[in-house]
Structure 1
Amino acid sequence: MKKGSLLTSTSPTNDLLLEKIRLETVLNSLPIGVFIINKDGEFTHMNDIVYEIWGENAFSAKNVYDYRKYIAWWEASGKQLNEDDWAASRALKGESSYGEIIKIQSFDGKLKTILNSASPIYDFEGRIEGAVVVISDITEIKRTEQELQHHKNHLTKLVSEKTLELEKLNKKLQLEIEERDRLQSQIRHLDQLNLVGQMAAGLAHEIRNPMTTIKGFLQFLQNNKEFENSKDIFNLMVDEMDRINDIISEFLNLSKNKRINKKKCCLNDIVLSISPLIEKNFILSDHNFKLNLQPNIPFAFIDENEIKQLILNLVRNGREAMSKGKTLTISTYFTDDFITLAIQDEGTGIKKELIEEISKPFFTTKPNGTGLGLPICYSIVQRHNAKIECKSTSAGTIFYVKFKPTS
C-alpha cells in the first residue's frame, strides 16, 4: 500500500482514523486546554495545552475518579476540591459548569489559577456518553488584575488623602479669610474711632472755652430774680451743657494717641476693686451679680483706670440688656497664652446684623444713649494691644477681652 493510502481509503477503519487525526489536529491548534473523557471517566483525548498547564504527568491518573492525585482550591473560598467537586466529575452526572475559577498545584510544583468549564456529551438517545472539559491558564491575568487592583487601591488612597488635605487647606484658608475680614472690619472701626478721637482732641479746647462762658452766663441769669420763674429752664440748660462736656470727654477717650499709664497689674485685683460698686448698682436695679475669677493668673501691663472704665462700660451695657432677676457674670482665666476677661449677661442678645455696628461711634439702640460706650471699650482695647470678641445669642451676650501676659 502506497504512503497515504490509509487516509484515502473509504473503509470504516480508515474513516475513524481520519476523524481521530482531524480531532487531534483541531485540539492541538486551540489556545486553550481541552480534554475528553468517556462515560467511564477515562481520559480519551487531550491537547498539548493541558500538559503545559498541568505538567508532563498531567494525566498519570487513569480516570476522573482518581482525582486525589490532583490538588486544587476554590479561588473564592480557598476550600480544597475533593473528587466530586471537579467539573469533569460533575459533568458525568449531567451538570454543566462554566467559568469556574480554581487554583491548582501543577505536577511540576507551580501554583496556577485556571478557568475551568465542562459539559456532558450525550448520544442520540440522550444518554451521557462522556464529557468535554476546557481549561485556561489565567495566572498572569489574575496577577495583572491584582496588580491593577493594588494600584487602584493605592491611587484611591492617595486621592482620598489629597482630597482630605485640600479640604483641610480649604477650611484653613476659609478661616484665614474670615479672620482677615474680621480684622479688616475691626481696623476700619478703630480708624473711625481714632478719627473721631482726633477731631475731639482738636476741637475740645475751642468748644469748651465758649461753653464755659455760656454756662457762666446761664448760671448768672439763673440766680437773677428777674428770671426766677424760668429757673427750671435754666437748670435744664446748665445740665445740657454739662452733658455736652461729658460727651466731649468721652470723645477724647476714643483717641488712639491718648496717653495712658501702663504698669504691671493683676486683672483680678482691678475687678475686685470695683466689684462693690457694681454689686451696689445691681442690688438697686434688682439684678444679680456673680464673680468667677481664676486664681493666680499672670500679670499684664495695663492702665488700671482705663480697664476699670472698660469693665464698667461693659457691665452697664449688660445690666441694661437684662430684665430684673437676671444675672451678669464677670470671669477671668488664663488659656491659649492669653489672660481673658469675660463679661456675660442673660439679656436678649444682639442681633447678628448689628454685631459689626456696635463698635461704631454714635450707633445705639437706646433712646437716650450716645453710642460711645462700646466704641470707647474698643479704643481702650486697641491702646492695650489686646483683643475683643463678642458672641451673642437669644440667651445672652458675652464680651471677651484678651490681654497678653507680661514676659
Structure 2
Amino acid sequence: MSDFDKIQIPSMKTYFNAFRHSANFMLLVDHDGKIRDVNEMHAVFINQTRQELVGQSISEIFSIIDPECDTPVQEFLENIKEQGFVESITTYQRSPEDTRYYHITIHYDKETNMFIVQMSDCTEKENLQIQLAHSGSLSAVGQIAASIAHEIRNPITTLKGFTQLLKVSATEDSIRYIAVIEDEIERMESILGEMLILSKPSEKKKSVFSLEVLVRDMVSILSPKAVMDGVEVVQEAELSSTPLIFGDPDKMKQVLLNLFKNGLESMQTGGKLTIHLSEYDGKLILSVTDTGKGMTHHQVSQVFMPFFSSKPGGTGLGLPFVLKTVEDHGGTIAVESHVDIGTKFTMTFPKAKQGVSSPLNSEQSIIS
C-alpha cells in the first residue's frame, strides 16, 4: 500500500463543519441563483436570519449590501461560469455610523454546478489605506504650504502697505478698486492660513466642554443668515447626561461652522438644516443634515481630499480641515448624500472622562 493510500480522507462532516464555522460569511448558490445554504456568520455580516436567506435569490444579498447593484442575476452568474472566479470589494453602509468593506469572492464549481460565495470583512485594512492616503495628502499640502508661505507673505505684506498709502490720495473710483484689491489679498491670506492649519500638528490647548453648548452657540451665530435665506434650522437632542468631550473648542467651533455653512449654502428658500445630537455606547453622535442639492457618488468619495470642491470659488480645504480636526479629537466622520435630496454628515466622539478638567456647565456659553 502506497503512502497516498494510507492518507485518511476527511469525512463529509469535517468539510461541513469547516463551512459552518468559518470566520467568513459563506453561501452556497445553485445554477438558478437560489441560496441553498449559509453558514453561521449571516447575522454578523448582514443581520439576516437563516430562514430569511435560504431559498431567496442571491440578488437579495447583493441589494442589501449594494442597493445600486442592478445587474441581472443570470447574466452575472453566466459571467462567473465563463471566468470560474470573480472578486470585488464592496462598501456596505450597515448604519449611518458604521461603514464596512467586504471582500467578496465567488467560485464556480463545475462538478456540482454550484457557486460558492465568500465574504470577508476587510474594513480595518481599507480604513488604514484611507488614513495613509489622507496622511499623504496632508503631508503634500504641508510641504507645499511650508515652501511657499514665506514667498507669498512677503509680497502680500508689501501690497497691503502700498494699498494703505494709495488710499490717502485716491479718488472715489480708485478707492473702490483698492477695496477689491484688499478683498483679494485677504482671500489669499485665508487660503494660505487654511493650508498651514492642515499641515501643522494639533496644538495641545484642550479642555473638557459641552458639545451641546457648542452646537447651540454656533447655531445662534448662523441663525440670522438662515432667516435671510429662508432656511429652517432644527436642533434635536437625545441625551441622558451632559455631552462632554475633551478637545479644542475653538477648532471644534470651526468644524461646526464649516458644516453648517456648507449645508446652508447648498439649499434654497424652504430648505431645512437638522442638527441631531445623541449618545450611544459611550460615544456622542452628532449629525448635520441638509435638504440641498446633494452630491454624486464620485463627489462623496472625493469630498475630504484637499483642493476638491463642488462650490464655485471654493478652496477645497474646509472639509479636509473638518476631517483632520475630528480625527484629532479621537472621532470619526461619515458622509451620506443623494442628488436632489440632500447630504448628511455624521460625527462620533468619545465622551470625556470626568475629572480631566473643569467642564462648562450646560448653561454657559463658549462663544469667544
Residue 257 of structure 1 aligns to a residue in which SS?
coil
What count of residue pairs does the alignment treat as equivalent? Answer: 255
Q: Which of 158, 168, 171 is the aligned partner of 1:223?
A: 168
Partner of 1:293: 237
Question: Which amino acid in the other structure matches residue 153 of structure 2?
Answer: R
Question: Which amino acid in the other structure matches residue 221 of structure 1?
Answer: L
Superposed CA RMSD in Å reads 2.9
**Quick one: structure 1 residues 173 and 324, their matched pair in 2 at CA, closer, same or farther if it must change by over 3 Å?**
closer
Partner of 1:404: 350
Task: List alignment gaps of at least 5 residues for structure 2.
Answer: 1-10, 27-40, 46-100, 104-119, 354-368
Find the aligned partners of 1:237 and 1:349 in 2 and give their Cα distance.
34
Alignment of 1:250 onto 2:194: yes
| Cα deviations by residue, 1:160-189 (Å, 9 ceiling, x for unpaired) | 735796523995963632442244224312
* Greater relative CO (CA pairs within 8 A, separation 6+): 2
Question: Which amino acid in the other structure matches residue 224 of structure 1?
Answer: S
**Quick one: structure 1 residues 214 and 178, their matched pair in 2 at CA, closer, same or farther if it must change by over 3 Å?**
same
**Quick one: structure 1 residues 197 and 340, their matched pair in 2 at CA, closer, same or farther if it must change by over 3 Å?**
farther
The answer on whether the counterparts of 1:194 and 1:256 sit within 8 Å (CA) in structure 2 is no
Partner of 1:4: none
Q: Which of 241, 247, 270 is the aligned partner of 2:214?
A: 270
Find the aligned partners of 2:177 and 2:24 in 1 and give their Cα distance.
72
Alignment of 1:193 onto 2:138: yes
Q: What percent identity do the matched residue pairs reach?
A: 31
Partner of 1:327: 272
The answer on whether the counterparts of 1:222 and 1:235 sit within 8 Å (CA) in structure 2 is no
The answer on whether the counterparts of 2:229 and 2:268 sit within 8 Å (CA) in structure 1 is no
Question: Which amino acid in the other structure matches residue 405 of structure 1?
Answer: K
Residue 301 of structure 2 aligns to a residue in which SS?
coil
**Quick one: structure 1 residues 288 and 333, their matched pair in 2 at CA, closer, same or farther if it must change by over 3 Å?**
same
Following superposition, the deviation at residue 381 of structure 1 comes to 1.5
**Quick one: structure 1 residues 202 and 164, their matched pair in 2 at CA, closer, same or farther if it must change by over 3 Å?**
closer
Residue 223 of structure 2 aligns to a residue in which SS?
helix
Residue 311 of structure 2 aligns to a residue in which SS?
coil
Considering only CA atoms, is the larger Rg found in Structure 1 or Structure 2?
1
The answer on whether the counterparts of 1:256 and 1:379 sit within 8 Å (CA) in structure 2 is no
Find the aligned partners of 2:229 and 2:319 in 1 and give their Cα distance.
21
| Cα deviations by residue, 1:79-136 (Å, 9 ceiling, x for unpaired) | xxxxxxxxxxxxxxxxxxxxxxxxxxxxxxxxxxxxxxxxxxxxxxxxxxxxxxxxxx
| Cα deviations by residue, 1:165-220 (Å, 9 ceiling, x for unpaired) | 65239959636324422442243124312431454255434422321111111221
Partner of 2:126: 181
Question: Which amino acid in the other structure matches residue 257 of structure 1?
Answer: P
Following superposition, the deviation at residue 347 of structure 1 comes to 1.6
**Quick one: structure 1 residues 260 and 319, their matched pair in 2 at CA, closer, same or farther if it must change by over 3 Å?**
farther
Tell me whether 267-276 or 173-182 shows the greater mean CA deviation.
Answer: 173-182
Find the aligned partners of 1:192 and 1:321 in 2 and give their Cα distance.
26
Task: List alignment gaps of at least 5 residues for structure 1.
Answer: 1-150
Counterparts of 1:5-404 in structure 2, within 5 Å, are 158=17, 161-162=20-21, 166-167=25-26, 168=41, 174=103, 176-201=121-146, 203-225=148-170, 229-295=173-239, 296-394=241-339, 395-404=341-350
